[in-house]
Structure 1
Amino acid sequence: MLAVKVPKREAENVRRKLIELGVLAKGYSPKREKDFVLFPVTRPVEGFELAEAEFKKTERRPHSYREVVEVPKELRSLLPSSFDIIGDIAIIELPEELIEYGKAIGEAILKVHRHIKAVFAKGSKVSGEYRVRELIHLAGEKRTETLHRENGIRLKLDVAKVYFSPRLATERMRVFEKVQPGEIIFDMFAGVGPYSILLAKKAKLVFACDINPWAIKYLEENRKLNKTPNVIPILGDVRKVTGQIEADRVIMNLPKFADRFLREAMLSVKSGGIIHYYGFDPEEDLFSEHKRKIKNVAGEFGFKVEFLDERKVRPYAPRQFNIAIDFRVWK
């Protein structure tokens, strides 16, 4: 096969030039010979030393596990197009028809995504006081603890013992960009600290509360891991903390039940402070019911609210969205 022969030190620049000229043969690996590199080309190229060589064909890496998994043809349309990746663990939601093929699906994910070491299927919905779900091991290592990286921070956690959603990374960064240096923040449902640790990079203090002892255990570890001693972990019911904290900003990341804690949030924010409220709503009526509840609770205390922003954070279920409402409280 026709090849261009170049000194090893010039190889990368020449490779780019051959791509630019459109002559680099696709599907073959370059070949090394002592201090030289040979690139396969589709035609002679002026200005380069030409040679004849045999090249190994490169295998095309599949982009999706669906390209390599073996399931009956009639079920292929049911294969999920996405799954959550937390650290080096993948968590996929499988329809009932695909449960018996779970091992094959898990192994296909491991084959395509080399950085993933364990694959689990969702065995139940998020439920209970600690907001966790049952997980079914499909393939890879039988462990649920991992180290997740996002937004420049590291978060150690156990996916079977705490609630964590990697799909909120963009939302967490949106809030971070709004935080002003020196703020005091109250993270009412902190989990392992994805908001708390990130916001602590700018805030003066972050009070991080959670009722799950496992979440607080990992929050303590993550505080040390990220060198954020200004995060203050609080284990317990957030209702018992109400009134003891006066924050510039309150995070209410408990979308299923956040409306039940609006009183606690408003009593814990300074006059002029901001609350980041999260909820779930059907597509037909995304914000109005939540805003009505916010106004009603504020009215009970004689407070006024100023709505600053409202947005769809992510799809949650068919025609259902996780929504965010930012509002200021005046006392």
Structure 2
Amino acid sequence: MMGVRVHRRDGERVRRLLAELGLLDTGRKIRREGEFLIFPVKGPIEGFEIVETEFEPAERRAHSYREVVEVPEELKPLLPSSFDVIGDIAIIELPEGLMEYGKAIGEAILKVHRHIRAVFAKGGKVSGEYRVRELVHLAGEERTETLHRENGIRLRLDVSRVYFSPRLATERMRIFRKSRPGEVVFDMFAGVGPYSILLAKKAELVFACDINPWAVRYLEENVRLNRTNNVVPILGDVRKVAGRVEADRVVMNLPKFADRFLREAMLSVRNGGIVHYYGFGPEEDLFSEHEGKIKAVAGELGFGVEILERRKVRPYAPRQFNIAVDFRVLK
């Protein structure tokens, strides 16, 4: 078979070139001979040393854990098609009928996804004052602390002690792109700081509040990790902070209960400032109930509101969606 022979130091550059030209034979393994590499190619190419040699077939790598997991055939349709990855930890939601095969599922995930070091199953719904859930260890390392990267920032956290959703990375970047340099931001339910630390890249000052002491502990560490010294971590009930902060932009990432804190959000935003509100809504009418509450609270305070954007963020449950409403407060 035909191959291209190059020095190992040029290997990655040549591999990319052959792939871009559509000449690299990905069905065959690259050969190594001392300081040289021989790439299997589909046809002749000028400018390189061409050799005739034998190549071993390349091993096909599975793209999904479902291709390699060992569970009864009748249960395979129940296998989730996706799972959350936070740093090097995978968290999967398994139907009750699959929990007894949790170890096999966890090991399959580790086999296919080499960067994952630990796999857990969701043991229940997000609950309690700190919005955390029970996790069941399935495979890999028995640790729950990790370092997560998204949107150019690093976040250290413990998935068993704080609430964090990697599925909101796109939404967090949307808010960042809407923000303006020099703003004062109030992140009412900051967690470990995914909104706060990202927005701090533009903001003059970010007040980041959370009632979970573990979340604030990691938030403080993440401030140091990202060198965002313009983030002010606040441990406590946001009701006691509201009104003492005067912000240009308020983030209300507490979709289950955000409507209970609308008064606090509006008292904390300047005239003409913007509030990013999150909630859950049924597919048939995503926004009406939330907008009604927003306008009612504004009316009680003697304020006006201007709805700027409505957005379906992500599916939450059957026929239920996590939604966002951005609005301006007029005092």
Q: Is the TM value for this pair above 0.5? A: yes
Q: Using a 3 Å threshold, how does the CA distance of structure 1 residues 202 and 17 change in structure 2: closer, same or farther?
A: closer
Provide the rounded CA distance (Å) in 2 between the counterparts of 1:267 and 1:43: 69
Partner of residue 137, structure 2: 137
Partner of residue 234, structure 2: 234
Q: Tell me the secondary structure at the aligned position of residue 77 of structure 1.
A: helix
What pairs with 1:48-127 in structure 2 (closer than 5 Å)? 50-127=50-127
Percent of counterpart pairs with the same letter? Answer: 77
RMSD: 1.9
What pairs with 1:293-304 in structure 2 (closer than 5 Å)? 293-304=293-304
The amino acid that maps onto 1:131 is: R
Give TM-score scaled by structure 1 length: 0.94
TM superposition shift of 1:179: 1.1
Partner of residue 151, structure 1: 151
Q: Which is further off, 36-45 or 233-242?
A: 36-45
Provide the rounded CA distance (Å) in 1 between the counterparts of 2:176 and 2:158: 24
Q: Which runs of 5+ in 1 are unaligned?
A: none
Provide the rounded CA distance (Å) in 2 between the counterparts of 1:42 and 1:99: 46
User: Residue deviations 1:187-218, cap 9 Å, x none?
Assistant: 10000000011111111111111110000100
The amino acid that maps onto 1:254 is: L
Q: Tell me the secondary structure at the aligned position of residue 162 of structure 1.
A: coil
The amino acid that maps onto 2:315 is: P
Partner of residue 279, structure 2: 279
Q: Tell me the secondary structure at the aligned position of residue 323 of structure 1.
A: strand
Q: Tell me the secondary structure at the aligned position of residue 284 of structure 1.
A: coil
Provide the rounded CA distance (Å) in 2 between the counterparts of 1:48 and 1:272: 64
Provide the rounded CA distance (Å) in 1 between the counterparts of 2:87 and 2:230: 25
Provide the rounded CA distance (Å) in 2 between the counterparts of 1:21 and 1:251: 47
Q: Tell me the secondary structure at the aligned position of residue 189 of structure 1.
A: coil
The amino acid that maps onto 1:246 is: E
Partner of residue 255, structure 2: 255
Q: Tell me the secondary structure at the aligned position of residue 180 of structure 1.
A: coil
Provide the rounded CA distance (Å) in 1 between the counterparts of 2:164 and 2:291: 26
Q: Tell me the secondary structure at the aligned position of residue 280 of structure 2.
A: strand
The amino acid that maps onto 1:330 is: L
Q: Using a 3 Å threshold, how does the CA distance of structure 1 residues 25 and 300 change in structure 2: closer, same or farther?
A: closer
Provide the rounded CA distance (Å) in 1 between the counterparts of 2:318 and 2:29: 45
The amino acid that maps onto 1:118 is: A
TM superposition shift of 1:46: 7.3
TM superposition shift of 1:58: 1.8
Q: Using a 3 Å threshold, how does the CA distance of structure 1 residues 243 and 5 change in structure 2: closer, same or farther?
A: closer
Provide the rounded CA distance (Å) in 2 between the counterparts of 1:246 and 1:11: 56
Provide the rounded CA distance (Å) in 2 between the counterparts of 1:125 and 1:106: 20
Q: Which runs of 5+ in 2 are unaligned?
A: none
Number of aligned pairs? 331
User: Residue deviations 1:250-273, cap 9 Å, x none?
Assistant: 100000000001011111111111
Q: Using a 3 Å threshold, how does the CA distance of structure 1 residues 14 and 262 change in structure 2: closer, same or farther?
A: closer
